[in-house]
């Protein structure tokens, strides 16, 4: 065995064909006859030849890399801790299935649209996925102007490619579930209304509570556990006759805060108060009682977003499409018949 890495030329020589034939055979081109293909593959395998992904991408004029833009966690801890790793799993799995790698781009103050466009011009990545990003539309517009492919995750906006999940299906089932358990007064602790998600979920709550004919009461929150705790204290302050028997939140974390508040108020979950969260991230199953919640398909969102972005990069798709996934409802232990 010789110490050097075998080159494409070595394989070509050993197989008695031209280098271009080796290239096409290994890429399964329809131009090459099955017999030669097989022979080349065996030879390559025998020699231990590893084509350079780097050179291949270079020759193809792409980088084969997606940039996933995320806030610096240490400066933006409020986003749900399990959200990012879950999303990442989906993005990376879908990307590698199509031969792409995923690199992390930390979203700092100096990360402007121009800076991101430079990363594409400078061949660091082929395009961007935005996760957990506040609504910086000037930045997105800048990218669009530069012709940089990108997609938003969980953050629909007209004119931009995006993947998002409708709150409607899951929340409708949650309402149906609560209605079936004889709940008639429903409390809601909103998410951060600076985020589209927060607004969407609130509007869906309003529509559905009207449709179901349930008496709603609302408190503004921001997805955090603390906001859930404080919101619950306020929602449950009234007289027993008028206070909600089921509380819905815009995040699992807030729902966990609600459980804490009930605990402190001496109310049992779910006997005295039912609770329904939103997201269905891992914590939902870890806590006691296990949380009934609206399942947000985060890993799928990541997969779909990566797929969409790769289509955009490959020009397989022209227009910036918006893809919608469905939420669903998961009944666990934090909901039961309405007391009284």
Examine residue 54 and say whether the peptide bond preceding it is cis (omega within 30 degrees of 0). no
H/E segment holding residue 306: helix 298-313
Which among 239, 280, 282, 275 is positioned nearest to 257, based on CA atoms? Answer: 275
Restricting to residues 37-96, name those near DNA by CB under 7 A.
49-52, 55-56, 58-61
b/e map of 308-339 (b: 16 or more CB within 10 Å)?
A: bbbbbbeeeeeebebbebebbbbebebbbebe
Residue span binding DNA (CB under 7 A) among the ranges 22-30, 63-71, 185-193, 219-227 = 22-30
- Distance in Å, CB of 43 to a copy of itself, minimum: 17
Nearer to a copy of itself, 60 or 318 (CB): 60
Task: Write out the residues near a copy of itself by the rule CB under 8 A.
Answer: 5, 50-55, 57-58, 63, 65, 72-74, 77, 81-82, 84-86, 88-89, 92-93, 96, 101-104, 106, 118, 121-124, 225-226, 263, 282-283, 286, 299
State the Cα–Cα distance between residues 24 and 44, nearest whole angstrom. 13
What are the helix and strand counts (H, E) for the chain? 13, 12
Q: How far apart are CA 174 and CA 168, in angstroms?
A: 10
For DNA, the closer CB: 57 or 162 = 57
Residue 27 interacts, among a copy of itself, DNA, none and using kind-specific CB cut-offs from 5 to 8 Å, with: DNA
**Class of residue 282 by CB neighbours under 10 A (exposed 0-12, middle 13-18, buried 19+):** middle
**From the list a copy of itself, DNA, none, partner contacted by residue 194 (C-beta under 5 to 8 A by kind):** none
Question: How far out from the chain centre does Cα 67 lie?
Answer: 14
Query: Which of 12-20, 257-265, 293-301, 312-320 is the region at the interface with DNA (rule: CB under 7 A)?
Result: 12-20
- Residue 106 CB, nearest approach to DNA (Å): 24
C-beta of 93: minimal distance to DNA in Å?
23
CB-wise, 176 or 314, nearer to a copy of itself? 314
The residues that touch DNA, with contacts defined as CB under 7 A, are 5, 7-8, 16-21, 23-24, 26-27, 30-33, 35-36, 49-52, 55-56, 58-61
């Amino acid at each position: 065995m010789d110490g050097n890495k075998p080159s494409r030329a070595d394989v070509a020589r050993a197989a008695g064909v031209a280098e271009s034939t080796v290239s096409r055979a290994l890429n399964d081109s329809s131009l090459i006859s099955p017999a030669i293909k097989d022979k080349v593959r065996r030879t390559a395998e025998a020699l231990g030849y590893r084509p350079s992904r780097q050179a291949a991408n270079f020759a193809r004029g792409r980088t084969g890399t997606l940039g996933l833009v995320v806030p610096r966690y240490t400066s933006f801890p409020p986003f749900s801790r399990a959200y990012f790793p879950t999303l990442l799993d989906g993005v990376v799995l879908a990307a590698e299935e199509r031969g792409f790698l995923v690199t992390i781009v930390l979203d700092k103050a100096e990360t402007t649209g121009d800076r991101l466009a430079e990363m594409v011009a400078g061949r660091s990545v082929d395009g961007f996925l935005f996760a957990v990003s506040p609504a910086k539309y000037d930045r997105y517009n800048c990218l669009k102007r530069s012709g940089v492919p990108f997609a938003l995750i969980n953050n629909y906006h007209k004119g931009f490619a995006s993947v998002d999940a409708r709150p409607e299906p899951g929340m409708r089932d949650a309402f149906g579930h609560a209605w079936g358990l004889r709940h008639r007064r429903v409390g809601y602790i909103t998410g951060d209304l600076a985020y589209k998600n927060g607004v969407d979920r609130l509007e869906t709550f309003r529509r559905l509570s009207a449709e179901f004919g349930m008496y709603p009461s609302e408190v503004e929150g921001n997805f955090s556990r603390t906001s859930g705790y404080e919101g619950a204290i306020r929602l449950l302050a009234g007289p027993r006759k008028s206070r909600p028997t089921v509380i819905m939140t815009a995040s699992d974390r807030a729902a966990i805060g609600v459980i804490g508040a009930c605990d402190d108020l001496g109310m049992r979950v779910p006997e005295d108060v039912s609770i329904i969260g939103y997201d269905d991230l891992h914590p939902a199953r870890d806590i006691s009682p296990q949380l009934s919640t609206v399942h947000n398909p985060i890993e799928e969102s990541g997969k779909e977003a990566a797929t969409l972005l790769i289509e955009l990069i490959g020009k397989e798709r022209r227009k910036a499409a918006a893809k919608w996934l469905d939420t669903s409802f998961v009944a666990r232990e934090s909901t039961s018949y309405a007391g009284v």
